[in-house]
């Protein structure tokens, strides 16, 4: 996952296939949000996408865990 996300390179200079694949990778938006904060170019788009994906993941995980028959002893 980290090789498709722009962890080690910039998406501006990457091939089109990498740009398309990285668009589906949630790590891409998290990295872009962190970079926008660190470099002082606050981007509410990337931060919003990251928060939205996090909230969706928490909700889906909660629903799945509630449907499991788990007994803690």
Using one digit for the tens of pLDDT, what is the confidence trace for 30-58?
888 888 888 888 888 988 998 998 999 99
Decide: 43 and 33 in contact? Cβ < 8 Å. yes
Number of structural domains found in the chain: 1
pTM comes to 0.67
Q: What is the mean pLDDT of the chain?
A: 85
In a domain, 2, yes or no: no
> In this structure, what token pair is assigned to residue 15?
């091939």
Q: Quote the pLDDT of residue 1.
A: 60
Measured CA to CA, the distance from residue 61 to residue 38 in angstroms comes to 30
In a domain, 48, yes or no: yes
Range of the domain at 37: 11-67
């Amino acid at each position: 996952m980290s090789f498709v996300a722009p962890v080690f390179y910039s998406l501006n200079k990457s091939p089109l296939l990498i740009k398309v694949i990285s668009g589906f990778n949630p790590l891409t938006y998290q990295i872009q949000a962190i970079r926008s904060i660190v470099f002082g170019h606050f981007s509410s788009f990337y931060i919003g996408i990251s928060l939205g994906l996090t909230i969706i993941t928490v909700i889906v995980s909660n629903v799945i865990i509630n449907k499991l028959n788990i007994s803690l002893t």
